[in-house]
Structure 1
């Protein structure tokens, strides 16, 4: 007895909507190619910039018209790739058919004059167009990656720091937050060295320099920060009290991530890659390199690694805790 309802075998699953990669570089016509996009991307237009009194261009607008592929999808993941120049930071604006703002992202990027990318979740119920608004001629905008999101319930530990973990395509590391004050947990002290972005450059020897005090000798220490535009084959070097500790480890997303940007230099046959987004970087600092009292720490890009920026720089110091798990090995 099915009461005229279709049997499970007769229900065909709907295909998932494809993601969209939109090349927004303003190439010369002879170098341009026709782009392919899913049917839910209806149109892409570069609107004329508004002229100022001085005759310059105040802003440019890329308008993307989209349609929900089905009623099951209400949130759009939008990742914008751009050159993060000061006073030319882009903003995303979602509109409905009546011309009403549904969302304004605010300025994206931090103005460090580096290739970068930022992601925004856009509620698309009623929305029909997304504008990329940027000061200038729009040539700082490189590309956009769009994908529809599904929702599910997420459980959080009650006694752990709440983290807004949004699974992004190609990457699983959540954004790193720097605590405003020192935090102690299970014998480990976390201290912020600098929350704001700092530029580092191997060519100009522009390094990030920190000094922090230690009241008691730790068992070990962990340095953590986020880095934008790193050379993936030449991570920054760490120096503690004049001692070279070695390069940091980068948490890399899969190579399909559009954030990887290749570079070729004259007289070389090997393409090098930078990641035009923020990655997590970590380095274990041996206890022997630290001392009670003031300590000096330097984060430096190597020569040939180009420019990067770091942020949310913090250090964890591990001490003996009454419930620490450790072994005492006897010599033979």
Structure 2
């Protein structure tokens, strides 16, 4: 048996501050001596900046071995369909490397000009067509598609209009990996997000487990905008409870969330607070900067859906009608909310707790 003992020391603050400053300076000096950090290799993935590539004389990007060429072309109106723009990714067939790719499209989610992804053979036979991306929220967004490659010679990303609302594409090879998961509980996501974002919520019937009651409140899309725009700054959801819970968690997904100004949540007459958001890795191309007048720091929004949660103390809720309000933070831009869910914690036969004596 191996015993590991962790020793801690309480250093005086006046010693700790200079020590941290010296350590940071040493790290900076080392970085300067060795040059910039090497970029993590991603030989089977590519980021396509479609705005830059659409300009005349744009430099061709370095492509993975499976990616032969990229082009975009306008398609005239035909058979009653409006004109569109097609971004074509021509492939090399490499079944020993991969049989699927993850294709994530970054776009402004405008009604009527939402992209779709399809796979084709050289003879023009369609092998795959994914659903139209987006929900028409009128906000910058991104969505992923898992595209099968068996027999495919090229992939098309088609969008009505001139394609100016398509910002970029991330394409990455997929591989099968064995994973263990419990039999009784929620299954793992079919595809692991490369940047750690959580999968989209899958609304289900109300369910009870180990004293927890989970219920879907609303699956619709609610848009919140700053004052002066057409939609309001606050949305309210009401629900009825048969008994007061010990505690509760409100979960929802938010689009175009501001890193420095997440949504504000309040239940009934409780204390308002910022929602806790599961942010993906900062390497995710979904982060977009915004420079505002008189603000010294660059702001960032995440142009995709992320999961947010807010803890509601049990004594704030009551038997009968309750309300949860989600509002824009003071400096936030427009956001959208979907898949509002409520979890309630009740007592059960194996409930564990401790009693802390009052301090003298």
Unaligned runs of 5+ in 1: 1-14
Q: What do residues 193-219 of structure 1 show as CA deviations (whole Å, max 9, x unaligned)?
A: 101221122334332210011111110
Q: Label 1:264 to 1:68 Cα distance change in 2 as closer, same or farther (>3 A).
A: farther
Q: CA RMSD in A?
A: 2.3
1:195 aligns to 2:202 (yes or no): no
Q: Does 1:40 align with 2:52?
A: no
Q: Does 1:65 align with 2:90?
A: yes
Report 1:127-166 matches (<5 A). 127-166=152-191
Q: Which residue of 1 aligns with 2:292?
A: 265
In structure 2, do the counterparts of structure 1 residues 31 and 286 end up closer, same or farther at CA, with 3 Å as the change threshold? farther
Deviations 1:94-141 (A, max 9, x none): 112221111100101111011000011111121111101111111111
Question: What TM-score, normalized to structure 1?
Answer: 0.88
> Is 1:278 aligned to 2:302, yes or no?
no
Question: Would you say the 8 A contact 2:244–2:319 is kept in 1?
Answer: yes
> Residues of 1 paired with 2:313 and 2:256: CA distance?
27
Does the 8 Å CA contact 1:22/1:37 hold for their aligned counterparts?
no
- Give the corresponding residue for 2:37: none
SS in 2 for 1:25: helix
Report if aligned partners of 1:49, 1:137 keep a CA contact under 8 Å in 2: no
Change over 3 Å in CA distance of 1:206–1:49 after alignment to 2: farther
Equivalent residue number for residue 242 of structure 2: 215
Q: CA deviation at 1:33?
A: 4.8
CA offset at residue 291 of structure 1? 1.6
User: How far apart in 1 are the matches of 2:236 and 2:358?
Assistant: 41
Which residue pairs with 1:251 in the alignment? Answer: 278
- Answering whether residue 95 of structure 2 is matched by residue 95 of structure 1, we say no
**Alignment: residue pair count:** 316
Segment drifting more, 134-143 vs 204-213: 204-213
Q: TM-score, structure 2 length as denominator?
A: 0.82
Q: Distance in 1 between matches of 2:207 and 2:322?
A: 19
Q: Which residue of 2 aligns with 1:4?
A: none
Query: 1:128 and 1:206, CA in 2 relative to 1: closer, same or farther beyond 3 A?
Result: same
* Structure 1 range deviating more: 56-65 or 130-139: 56-65
Q: CA deviation at 1:329?
A: 3.2
Displacement of 1:263 in angstroms is: 0.8
- Counterpart-to-counterpart distance in 1, 2:78 and 2:329: 42
Would you tell me which structure has more helix in proportion to its own residues? 2
1:163-182 residue pairs with structure 2 within 5 A? Answer: 163-179=188-204, 181-182=205-206
- The answer to whether the Cα contact below 8 Å between 1:202 and 1:300 also exists between their aligned partners in 2 is no
Residues of 1 paired with 2:58 and 2:267: CA distance?
Answer: 49
Tell me the distance in 2 between the aligned counterparts of 1:227 and 1:120.
20
Equivalence for 2:255? 228
Alignment check: 8 A CA contact 2:74 2:162 kept: no
Distance 1:87 1:59 in 2: 11
1:10 matched residue in structure 2 = none
**Larger strand proportion, structure 1 or 2?**
1
Distance across 1 between alignment mates of 2:354 and 2:182: 29
Give the match for residue 107 of structure 1: 132
1:191 and 1:153, CA in 2 relative to 1: closer, same or farther beyond 3 A? same
